[in-house]
């Protein structure tokens, strides 16, 4: 098979790495790819051809057998519909189903309609009405841009003043563009977060290994939200009871609800959860693999991923078996100085060769590019240093021992990735 992966981040590098291991796959193409993707075996990076139509034409000409979409933007823009209209096989939800991530207002209304547990909310398209509602209910409260905002559109507000200024920034200053035409204002949920991902074929749901992201930029979950500063799998907060509840109250109703609405959901459905006393509530839906959750999940996945991707498209995901290594995996994201705010690009990354060959360690590239044979920084999140270990403690220690060998000016990363899992397991503090 010839497989095309769309995207250029750490998640896409992980997908390429995993897909290239499949005995069913003879070559992998990535567009636009990044400095690490291009170095994977069987793999070639191709320039972004400019539009979804042009990409589909390119896939047809090249005889691509399967296309896998990493990020949410092309899904929300309808890449699946475009490819399907040309008879191409593509993994992911159609445009109508991708609204579960593309519009938070749609997702909240969907959850209300199908009885999926989530925070109480109101939706506003007029900033004055949003503000008067906020003054009425008080803080703490969460203000969210309706549309896509690279994981940064949800603002947790401790005071009424913060919430009013969040409305101004989203709806008047339009810091997230048209994504801020409407806001969702919702109740603040407390508890511990987890990411629950599953592959669906529109009818059946096949859960993937549990994981936990670390969204705020600084240790102890301080500072502004990012796309994700690290992740681990498995996530002990997803107990067997939580797992049952998420499948029963969230995953099956999503798939049944989307079918009932006439848009069966195919691809990865990802529920961002807040869990308190083993009672899960949905913070958000994503319609693709998490980044960086894909890194530890796929690092642990033992079975070939390609049959699962094909079964999502063609049906029969309930007949596929996905198996995992019993080991834990941890991914530490190394970011450019200034991220998630402004940052400079173009610094040479030193030390990558020192971690090659380290047992159980894989460096997934995100914002990197190859120039004259050297790898340089080219984005906010630059690398996802991922390690397997006999348990979470060993995986953390391995990941950080690799991270410490890699350097460029201004690099920063969280030093507490995995610490919550250690605390839950009574493991004390993080050995990093």
**Binding of residue 385 to ligand AMP (CB under 6 A):** no
> Least distance to ligand GLY from the beta carbon of 292, Å?
6
How far CA 403 is from CA of 13, 278, 326, 329, 335, in Å, comes to 18, 34, 23, 14, 11
Choose between 40 and 193: whose C-beta lies nearer to ligand GLY: 193
Residue 302's beta-bridge partner residues?
A: none
Choose one: 274-282, 285-293, 375-383, 389-397; the region binding ligand GLY (CB under 6 A).
285-293
Q: List strands edge to edge, sheet with 212-213.
A: 212-213, 230-233, 328-335, 381-389, 361-365
In order, the DSSP letters of 355-414 are HTT-TTEEEEESSEEEETTEEEE-SSEEEEEEEEESSHHHHHHHHHHHHTT-B-TT-B--
> Least distance to ligand AMP from the beta carbon of 329, Å?
20
**Binding of residue 290 to ligand GLY (CB under 6 A):** yes
Q: 156 touches which of ligand GLY, ligand AMP, none (CB within 5 to 8 A by kind)? A: ligand AMP
Q: Comparing C-alpha atoms, which of 152, 287, 166, 295 is closest to residue 232? A: 295
Restricting to residues 333-372, name those near ligand AMP by CB under 6 A.
Answer: none
> Least distance to ligand AMP from the beta carbon of 353, Å?
35
CA distance 64 to 40: 18
Choose one: 186-194, 307-315, 323-331, 402-410; the region binding ligand AMP (CB under 6 A).
186-194
Do 335 and 412 meet the contact criterion of CB atoms below 8 Å apart? yes
User: Could you tell me where the DSSP H helices lie in 21-126?
Assistant: 52-62, 72-77, 79-85, 95-102, 104-113
Q: 119 touches which of ligand AMP, ligand GLY, none (CB within 5 to 8 A by kind)? A: ligand AMP
Q: 35 touches which of ligand GLY, ligand AMP, none (CB within 5 to 8 A by kind)? A: none
> Least distance to ligand AMP from the beta carbon of 186, Å?
5
Residues within the interface to ligand AMP (CB under 6 A)? 119, 142, 144, 151, 153-154, 156, 186-189, 193, 215, 225, 272, 283-284
Residues engaged in binding ligand GLY (CB under 6 A):
151, 213, 228, 286, 290-291, 293
């Amino acid at each position: 098979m010839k497989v095309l992966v769309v995207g250029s981040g750490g998640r896409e590098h992980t997908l390429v790495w995993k897909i290239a291991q499949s005995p069913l796959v003879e070559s992998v193409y990535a567009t636009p790819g990044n400095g690490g993707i291009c170095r994977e075996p069987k793999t070639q990076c191709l320039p972004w051809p400019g539009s979804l139509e042009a990409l589909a034409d390119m896939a047809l000409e090249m005889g691509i057998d399967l296309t896998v979409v990493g990020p949410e933007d092309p899904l929300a823009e309808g890449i699946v519909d475009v490819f399907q209209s040309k008879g191409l096989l593509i993994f992911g939800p159609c445009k109508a189903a991708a609204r579960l991530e593309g519009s938070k207002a749609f997702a909240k209304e969907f959850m209300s309609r199908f009885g999926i547990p989530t925070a109480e909310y109101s939706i506003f398209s007029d900033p004055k009405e949003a503000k008067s509602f906020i003054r009425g209910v008080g803080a703490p409260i969460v203000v969210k841009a309706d549309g896509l905002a690279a994981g940064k559109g949800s603002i947790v507000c401790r005071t009424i003043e913060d919430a009013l200024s969040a409305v101004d920034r989203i709806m008047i200053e339009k810091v997230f563009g048209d994504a801020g035409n409407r806001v969702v204002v919702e109740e603040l949920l407390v508890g511990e977060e987890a990411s629950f991902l599953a592959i669906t074929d529109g009818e059946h749901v096949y859960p993937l290994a549990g994981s936990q992201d670390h969204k705020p930029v600084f240790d102890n979950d301080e500072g502004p939200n990012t796309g994700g500063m690290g992740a681990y799998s498995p996530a002990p907060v997803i107990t067997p009871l939580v797992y049952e509840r998420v499948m029963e109250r969230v995953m099956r109703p999503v798939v049944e609800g989307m079918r009932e609405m006439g848009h069966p959901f195919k691809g990865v459905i990802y529920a961002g959860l807040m869990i308190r006393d083993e009672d899960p509530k949905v913070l958000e839906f994503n319609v693709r693999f998490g980044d960086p959750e894909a890194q530890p999940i796929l690092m642990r996945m033992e079975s070939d991923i390609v049959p699962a991707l094909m079964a999502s498209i063609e049906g029969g995901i309930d007949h596929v078996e996905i198996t995992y290594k019993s080991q834990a995996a941890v991914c530490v994201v190394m970011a450019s100085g200034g991220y998630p705010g402004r940052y400079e690009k173009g610094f040479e990354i030193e030390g990558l060769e020192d971690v090659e060959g380290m047992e159980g360690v894989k460096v997934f590239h995100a914002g990197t590019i190859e120039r004259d044979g050297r790898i340089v920084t080219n984005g906010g999140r630059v690398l996802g240093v991922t390690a397997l270990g006999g348990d979470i403690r060993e995986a953390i220690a391995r990941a950080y021992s690799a991270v410490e060998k890699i350097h460029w000016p201004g690099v920063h990363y969280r030093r507490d990735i995995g610490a919550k899992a250690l605390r839950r397991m009574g493991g004390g503090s993080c050995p990093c």
